[in-house]
């Protein structure tokens, strides 16, 4: 499955007014032109048509209504903006806040704004690195969503005297090699980020954290994809962005959950979730793919946490294996071996170890 799914993701949802209390805190479309960079990259080249289109919009509106339109634009944006800031935006010397482009909807046709949004590839805060923002769902992106739903955490912590927020995406696994060799390359490919850190956790269950502090990345998964932030265990569910896809195209999300939560469980595969809603979503999704999973009720963990028991019986594992092979396989070797072993296949000959299939 190498296709890119056709659902367009709304990039303007990266702006959060309650948190972006000043213009400096707003996420920005990267619109620095090559002539203002010492070592230009493809990011600067891709800024050229965006800046040109915004400049054309300004010239057209100035000719129609005069420079007063900029004042009205600033009022819609909602932050104090100096006249020199507009000049920096129009010449490509400073990146334009996403909220500024979104508020152009009051001055131009919807079609023109949509075409402008489709040209936006790179976003950054004022202090963090520029990253690429996917505008469509791909198998790899759905896989990341699944694994982050299972073992991910989206943390916001305040720091400094100004009360700034640090937005961090964290993915935990007992296998550092899996995070380094299988997961981090997907982050690099999809978001074109520069680096990811790995941190060992010497706790009751020793594990590794894949960590990336980036506001745009955090908001992409929380605000656009729909993974809950903070303690998500009780409120987790399959995000609506995924539910709206054709059923077969949701399978990479299941592979991500297998590589995080769904492992050996009784004679088959499964796990316990605190969220009953997530189990209900999974039961429906698997049933539509011909796999009969079961809900076995609840029990208490440590005498106080309610856990919902989810299981795919051994009799259904072969069907599950066939669905995954036809769409997108898990990437953890131990989970792959378990899947094929329970399906009655001793060796995975003539099949890739992991990844997607055409």
**How far separated are the first and last CA of the chain, in Å rounded?**
4
For residues 349-358, average pLDDT: 46
Query: What is the reported pLDDT for 304?
Result: 74
Query: What is the reported pLDDT for 5?
Result: 56
Whether residue 165 has pLDDT greater than 50: yes
Instruction: Return mean pLDDT, the chain.
Output: 91
What residue spans define the domains of the chain? 11-132, 139-356
Query: What is the reported pLDDT for 354?
Result: 44
**pLDDT per residue as tens digits for the range 261-297:** 999 999 999 999 989 999 999 999 999 999 999 999 9
- Rounded to two decimals, the pTM is 0.92
Give the separation between CA 293 and CA 321, rounded to whole angstroms: 14
**pLDDT per residue as tens digits for the range 183-228:** 999 999 999 999 999 999 877 778 999 999 999 999 999 999 999 8
Query: What is the reported pLDDT for 355?
Result: 46
Helices (H), the chain: 42-65, 68-77, 83-91, 98-102, 110-118, 139-151, 176-178, 184-191, 215-219, 240-243, 251-258, 276-288, 317-327, 333-342
For residues 225-245, average pLDDT: 87
139-356: what fold? Endonuclease I-creI (3.10.28)
Whether residue 106 has pLDDT greater than 70: yes
pLDDT confidence band for 119 (50 / 70 / 90) = very high
pLDDT confidence band for 164 (50 / 70 / 90) = confident
**pLDDT per residue as tens digits for the range 12-27:** 999 999 999 999 999 9
């Amino acid at each position: 499955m190498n296709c890119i799914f056709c659902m367009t993701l709304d990039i303007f949802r990266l702006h959060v007014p309650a948190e972006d209390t000043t213009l400096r805190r707003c996420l920005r479309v990267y619109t620095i032109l090559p002539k203002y960079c010492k070592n230009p990259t493809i990011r600067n080249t891709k800024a050229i048509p965006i800046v040109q289109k915004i400049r054309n919009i300004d010239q057209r509106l100035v000719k129609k209504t005069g420079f007063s339109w900029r004042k009205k634009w600033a009022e819609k944006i909602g932050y104090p903006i100096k006249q020199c800031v507009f000049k920096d935006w129009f010449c490509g010397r400073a990146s334009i806040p996403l909220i500024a482009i979104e508020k152009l909807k009051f001055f131009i046709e919807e079609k023109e704004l949509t075409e402008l949004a489709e040209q936006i590839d790179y976003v950054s805060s004022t202090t963090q690195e520029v990253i690429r923002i996917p505008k469509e769902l791909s198998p790899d992106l759905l896989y990341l969503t699944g694994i982050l739903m299972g073992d991910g955490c989206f943390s916001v912590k305040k720091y400094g005297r100004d009360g700034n927020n640090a937005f961090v995406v964290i993915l935990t696994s007992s296998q550092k090699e899996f995070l380094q060799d299988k997961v981090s390359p997907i982050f690099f490919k999809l978001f074109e980020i520069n680096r990811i850190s790995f941190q060992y956790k010497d706790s009751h269950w020793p594990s590794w954290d894949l960590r990336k502090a980036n506001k745009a990345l955090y908001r992409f998964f929380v605000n656009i994809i729909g993974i809950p932030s903070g303690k998500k265990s009780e409120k987790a569910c399959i995000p609506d962005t995924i539910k709206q896809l054709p059923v077969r195209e949701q399978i990479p999300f299941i592979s991500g959950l297998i590589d995080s939560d769904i492992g050996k469980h009784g004679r088959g595969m499964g796990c316990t979730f605190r969220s009953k809603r997530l189990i209900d979503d999974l039961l429906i999704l698997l049933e539509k793919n011909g796999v009969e999973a079961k809900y076995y009720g609840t029990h208490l963990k440590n005498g106080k946490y309610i856990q919902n028991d989810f299981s795919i019986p051994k009799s259904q594992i072969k069907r599950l294996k066939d669905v995954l092979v036809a769409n997108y396989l898990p990437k953890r070797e131990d989970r792959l071996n378990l899947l094929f072993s329970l399906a009655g296949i001793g060796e995975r000959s003539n099949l890739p170890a992991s990844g997607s299939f055409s």
